[in-house]
Amino acid sequence: MHVQASALGLIDATAESVYIGVDDTTISSGRGRKSVRITSKASFNVGGSSAATTSGLLFAFDLTHMPAGCGTWPAYWLCGPNWPSGGEIDVIEGVNTMTQDHTTLHTDQGCSMSGESTDLFTGSWSLNRAGGPSDDCWVDDPNQWSNAGCGIINTTPGVTTSYGVPFNAAGGGMYVMEWTQQFIRTYYFQRSQIPADLLDGGGGSPDPSQWSTPPYAYFTLNAESCPAKHFSDLQVIINIALCGDWGGSDFPISCPDIHTACPDYVQHNPSAFSEAFWSIRSLVIYQNQTTTEMTAAPVPAKDTATDFDAERWHPI
């Protein structure tokens, strides 16, 4: 599949970046158009009972361009087995001409964020059927839209470049997702505001407690409202979907000047997808150890700290 995608010009890699795109030259012979989905071979967990437990993981995703435009539904996400029982974390997601990123958790029953303090993040909840916060991560919650999950939109005051065309025009930026047994939280850094301890491609030890930018999304994990066990064996996925349930239903709203259904538009307008690509500088994954004993792939033990926020991270 790699050889085929490369031959079609859908993927490419240089010393500076990785390109993942959509066919933008041919009219499709059927519904849809050729695209790419990449899934990590490794799966990831936090917690456990081993002597060298990973107490947390931090994913730093640096990119200069993300897919944008009518008909697109790109995502950078993590997903576990036997969905939704293994959980899903959508870090970057949106459709069509949206300009604000949506970060969402999807789980089976028993994971709610209804008690989450909005003081912990700068974004705002997406809305449920009744116009209230979509804060139940259970994909089958009858009071929410189908498979809505618990989602936070990056409406941070002063931030206008978190997704789509504005993100690309600003030269991209970095998304950081921190996952522990106590919380999942995400940060967005505009290119000029990326912390120095994240700039060397993984050689440093990021310290979130020193960052001046607060998280735009925060989800508490605890035994009462959302046990950490809802997220396990997660694989990293980067893909570009076209139309789909969300993209197709939003298509008439975001793209009102296109007088055809989303699938027809995708099939017959290849040049419209010249901006439907990822340009990725790096994805660095850091882990934090709960003891000084090393794992099989040695990683320096954490620095001594009085609370979790002050701990520093080391690349895997």
Active site residues: 88, 93
Question: Is the separation of the CB atoms in 37 and 31 below 8 Å?
Answer: no
Query: In which region does residue 187 sit, left (phi positive, over 0), alpha (psi from -120 to 50) or beta (all else)?
Result: beta
Question: Is the separation of the CB atoms in 73 and 244 below 8 Å?
Answer: yes
Q: How far is CA 153 from CA 55, 117, 135, 299, 302, in A?
A: 27, 15, 12, 34, 32
DSSP letter, residue 289 = E
Q: Which pair of tokens denotes residue 184?
A: 């999942």
What does the alpha-carbon distance between residue 233 and residue 230 come to, in Å, rounded to a whole number? 10
Question: Is the separation of the CB atoms in 101 and 108 below 8 Å?
Answer: no
For residue 94, which of 75, 66, 113, 118 has the smallest C-alpha distance?
Answer: 75
Q: Which amino acid is at 131?
A: G
Q: By three-state DSSP, how is residue 28 classified?
A: coil
